[in-house]
Amino acid sequence: MLGLFANIAGAQQTLIQNIQGRKILSLNGRWNYIIDPYEMGYYDYRHDPFDQSASGKGGFYDDRKGKDKTELIEYNFDLSPTLKVPADWNSQADKLEFYEGSIWYRQKFSISPQSGKKYLLYFGAVNYEAHVYLNGKKVGTHKGGFTPFHFDVSQMLNNGENTVVVKADNTRKQDEIPTINTDWWNYGGITRDVYVAELPETYIADYKIQLAKGDLKKIEGFVKLEGPARNQEVTISIPGAGISRTVRPGADGSASFSIPVKKLEYWSPTNPKLYDVSISSGGEKISDKIGFRSIEVRGQDILLNGKSVFLRGISIHDENPLIPGRLRSQGDMRMMLNWAKELNCNYVRLAHYPHNEEMVRLADEMGLLVWAEVPVYWTISWENKDTYQNAEKQLSDLIVRDKNRASVIVWSIGNETPLSEPRYRFMSSLAKHARSLDDTRLVSAALEVHRNDKEVIVNDSLAVNLDLVSFNEYGGWYWGGVPSNLSAYYFNIKYKKPVVITEFGADALAGFHGDENTRWTEEWQEAVYRNQVTFLKKIPGLRGTTPWILTDFRSPRRQHPLYQDFWNRKGLISEQGKKKKAFYELKKFYDEMELKYK
């Protein structure tokens, strides 16, 4: 019934670049909420959606006065409790911990819309399906729990008080992205920032300003205007690099450019140099901070600014283990990335879905390379066309959002997807799509290994379409017995490309000690890291690792009452922020690799 993205008020615009750089009114804060497990705010007693009623009235979204008798009276937002936005709902009330379904949110705000301006209602992310209403009218819907979306509400705003209502539904469904089965908590709600952005009638919708593919001496990109005067001039300036270039878009509002540069300080983890960049057009001026670096693969090497690099990484979920719940603020994000830095990382894998834009901006600032992923995880409905479109849309939105971030070097199209012909077609199309949107970065996916006795085999023809051979390999936890057994195993990797191991690891309950052959102890986990490092070093093309995972994280699949209690314990840091022994084992490896690749 619903398209992936329906904007009832008007067609969906280009996903706006750099929302933080705009004139924005934040709607963050406390929103009233109503839990709606029976969907009574959406369907009437005959299960007909209120949405379709001719008057557009009814349901929980209609907060107008003077209701008629067909409307719901058995609710009251004003008297309802509140939830913080941005944040998941699960961590905010005991009865919401395991809740999956719909919750209605309501916020009031005041604004004086100016004539000749455009207003976008912007959401950083809502998990999973959002129905958005403004002043009693439907604005649109969106699917996908980790990517931003916005609606043009210029014609719908009142001068003075306005009411926005959001139905957020995190019901898991087989045909969605992700599907019903994952190993993370299905945190629901308005998990990222909400803004109203005020823009000029003709505005800078999007831009890309990056080094050209394989060329350290040329900055390339495009700008895209939307609005009636979309062929007015645009000036891109980077004062620190002595660049100022004016372009005039064609009828579609876009203009591309290519600017030779003589001298540029390149962005890298050791020198995360960001240039002040401004883009101006008409009366509008947007500022950004952009780094310039190149990334490419040559043989089995990964070249960063032309120099071979070893990716000293760690996998991270978008979850604060200490509270716990989704990362809510820049402070939360800094804490996670600082822990990665303490491990001596130069790289992070933001698994298994798009993380907050702020996280990627911090990685830019702190000098951490990034693997960015979409939630094409495990057993997706490979033959469903809508499912594919959904995956492609989420991938596009991720790439559109983060394409100016120097930190991002890999677009990952999925994780541990089981071999089959339909899956191959699905994943190959995604890889092709990623390249069509951005040819300046690497494309990869976390693949699986197969075993034949002591042989650990990587043979997945999808790898032919990828730039890195990346796979998850759980020797010492899911197979192989005690950690020291790993020494008997050997690899058979069919593809001669840089190998970046996306996962290995073992569960350990922080503070639980024993010998290295006792499962769940810190000593077992430490021994897995020690033996894995020795094992992985035998791969000639090994160019990086992102073990699983920085911190313990919540998962409904992890039910051992003594050791897990709904926590996946593969973290190197516990839910109390305590570093386990394996943390230091990995750091030792990374210190060694740092010296080797100096």
Helix axes 385-402, 357-366, angle to 10 degrees: 40
Q: How far is the CB of 472 from ligand GCB (least distance, A)?
A: 4
User: How many CB atoms are closer than 10 A to CB 23?
Assistant: 12
Q: How far is the CB of 474 from ligand GCB (least distance, A)?
A: 7
User: How many CB atoms are closer than 10 A to CB 146?
Assistant: 25
Distance CA 142, CA 128 (A): 8
User: How many CB atoms are closer than 10 A to CB 120?
Assistant: 22
Comparing CA positions, the residue from 187, 220, 221 lying closest to residue 96 is 187
Residues near ligand GCB (CB under 6 A) are 183, 352, 415-416, 472, 503, 548, 568, 570
Residue 432 or 557: the one with the smaller Cβ distance to ligand GCB is 557
289 Cβ contact list (under 8 Å, min separation 6): 274, 275, 276, 277, 364, 365
Do 226 and 206 touch, CB atoms closer than 8 A?
no
Q: How far is the CB of 432 from ligand GCB (least distance, A)?
A: 23
Helix (H) or strand (E) holding 146: none
Q: How far is the CB of 490 from ligand GCB (least distance, A)?
A: 21
Distance CA 9, CA 412 (A): 33
Distance CA 333, CA 404 (A): 19
Residue 238 or 509: the one with the smaller Cβ distance to ligand GCB is 509
Residue 32 or 568: the one with the smaller Cβ distance to ligand GCB is 568
Distance CA 178, CA 50 (A): 28
Residue 20 or 564: the one with the smaller Cβ distance to ligand GCB is 564
Name the β-bridge partners of 32: 82, 106
Comparing CA positions, the residue from 59, 40, 44, 154 lying closest to residue 106 is 59
Residue 403 or 423: the one with the smaller Cβ distance to ligand GCB is 423
Distance CA 161, CA 181 (A): 42
Residue 22 or 570: the one with the smaller Cβ distance to ligand GCB is 570
The per-residue DSSP string of 89-103 comes to: STTT-GGGTT--SEE
Q: How far is the CB of 317 from ligand GCB (least distance, A)?
A: 8
Q: How far is the CB of 572 from ligand GCB (least distance, A)?
A: 13
Q: How far is the CB of 571 from ligand GCB (least distance, A)?
A: 10
Residue 333 or 445: the one with the smaller Cβ distance to ligand GCB is 445
Comparing CA positions, the residue from 456, 448, 584 lying closest to residue 527 is 584
Residue 163 or 568: the one with the smaller Cβ distance to ligand GCB is 568
Distance separating the N- and C-terminal Cα atoms of the chain: 56
Tell me the residue nearest to ligand GCB as measured from the CB: 183
Helix (H) or strand (E) holding 587: helix 581-596
Residue 106 or 352: the one with the smaller Cβ distance to ligand GCB is 352
Helix (H) or strand (E) holding 494: none
Comparing CA positions, the residue from 418, 371, 586, 549 lying closest to residue 474 is 549
Do 128 and 170 touch, CB atoms closer than 8 A?
yes
Chain centroid offset of residue 588 CA: 29
Residue 407 or 472: the one with the smaller Cβ distance to ligand GCB is 472
Q: How far is the CB of 464 from ligand GCB (least distance, A)?
A: 22
Residue 170 or 568: the one with the smaller Cβ distance to ligand GCB is 568
Chain centroid offset of residue 164 CA: 25
Residue 88 or 183: the one with the smaller Cβ distance to ligand GCB is 183
Q: How far is the CB of 325 from ligand GCB (least distance, A)?
A: 18
Q: How far is the CB of 163 from ligand GCB (least distance, A)?
A: 39
Rg of the chain in Å (alpha carbons) = 25
Matching residue, tokens 């197969």: 450
User: 142 preceded by cis ω (within 30°)?
Assistant: no
Residue 181 or 256: the one with the smaller Cβ distance to ligand GCB is 181
Q: How far is the CB of 112 from ligand GCB (least distance, A)?
A: 47
- Report the DSSP pairing between strands 129-134 and 137-143: antiparallel
Alpha helix ranges (H) inside 143-191: none
Q: How far is the CB of 412 from ligand GCB (least distance, A)?
A: 11
Q: How far is the CB of 54 from ligand GCB (least distance, A)?
A: 47
- DSSP character for 11? P
Q: With the CA atoms of 583, 584, 588 and 589 taken in that order, what torsion angle do they form, in degrees rounded to the nearest 10?
A: -20
Q: How far is the CB of 70 from ligand GCB (least distance, A)?
A: 47
204 Cβ contact list (under 8 Å, min separation 6): 17, 223, 224, 225, 234, 279, 281, 284, 286
Residue 352 or 530: the one with the smaller Cβ distance to ligand GCB is 352
